[in-house]
Amino acid sequence: MKNKLLVISGGSKGIGRSIILKFAKMNFDIITCSRNLDDLNKLKIDVEKLSKTVTINFIKADLSKEKECQNFINYVKSFERNLDLLVNNVGIFSPGKIYNEDEGILKKMINTNLYSNYQISRGLIPIMLSRKKGHIFNICSIASKIAYSNGGSYCVSKFAFYGMSLCLREELKDKGIRVTSVLPGATLTSSWDGSDFDKDRFVQPNDIAESIFSIYNMSSGTNVEEIIIRPQLGDI
């Protein structure tokens, strides 16, 4: 019997990496991508240490570019596997205010935080539709619901991605496919490297991975539509 398959974008660091390691422990095969091949090779080594029965395949891809999104879609399809779990995780953050942030930053944020996830969803959901089975987790942000003064185009893009996730939930609920929006607050990833905040001030990536695994394992007739995970002391 083949392992189940997790496909996740942006899997080499942070939340994506934690999700991969959690599901690899539970005997899921993995297909992922990242812009950094060295990080992907390190991830492969760590996954193979966890399990000898799990396979991890990856491709280098910059998903802010439409062509490379399509390359990732084609790569996943080339394995001709059933798709049990899709995690749309790719995203970038750049601080700034709408009225004075760098020119072109909105386009960059929309391309990465919205269009990439939109394109990958459109490309891979038909695999799930063919079986009327699967689960999609969209890694949004608390900034998808709560604007903040230095969020600028990041908030705009994450609001849009959250809207896309809600649409998918409505479109797919009678197709046997579950959709969950994940809205983390400040999470301890490389985005915060160099900050002076204590590590306990952040959400831990492993907590997000554990939450996703728990929700995935609920009965097929139940859908957790949204999870909000924030630091105990509030957002930073």
Q: What is the mean pLDDT of the chain?
A: 94
pLDDT band at 11 (very low <50, low <70, confident <90, very high): very high
Helix (H) or strand (E) holding 177: strand 177-184
Higher pLDDT, 1 or 110: 110
User: Which tens digit of pLDDT belongs to each residue from 70-100?
Assistant: 999 999 999 999 999 999 999 998 889 999 9
For residues 174-178, give the mean pLDDT: 97
Mean pLDDT of 190-201: 70
How many beta carbons lie within 10 A of that of residue 90, not counting itself? 25
pLDDT range class, residue 197, cuts 50, 70, 90:
confident
Percent pLDDT > 70 in the chain is: 97
Taking the C-alpha atoms of residue 188 and residue 205, their distance in angstroms, rounded to an integer, is 7
Tens of pLDDT, residue by residue over 201-236, are 889 999 999 999 999 999 989 999 999 999 998 887
| Token pair of 182 as six digits | 């994940």
pLDDT tens-place string over residues 149-168: 889 999 999 999 999 999 99
Band (pLDDT 50/70/90 cuts) for residue 190 is low
Rounded-to-integer distance, Cα 110 and Cα 121, Å: 15
| pLDDT score at 215 | 98
In the three-class reduction of DSSP (H, G, I as helix; E, B as strand; rest coil), residue 205 is classed as: helix
Q: Distance between CA 75 and CA 78 in Å, rounded?
A: 5
pLDDT-derived band of residue 192, with 50, 70 and 90 as boundaries?
Answer: low
Confidence tier at 199 by pLDDT (50, 70, 90): confident
What pLDDT was estimated at residue 137?
Answer: 98
What value does the mean pLDDT take over residues 7-30?
96
pLDDT score for 63: 97
Question: Which of 18-27, 104-113, 189-198 has the least mean pLDDT?
Answer: 189-198
Residue 186 in this model has a pLDDT that exceeds 90: no
Q: How many helices (H) and strands (E) does the chain have?
A: 7, 7
Asked whether the predicted pLDDT for residue 180 surpasses 90, the reply is yes
Give the amino acid at 90: V
From the list 154, 171, 29, the residue with the least C-alpha distance to 96 is 154
When the candidates are 3.30.980.20, 3.40.50.720, 3.40.1160.10, 3.40.50.880, the CATH number that belongs to 4-229 is 3.40.50.720
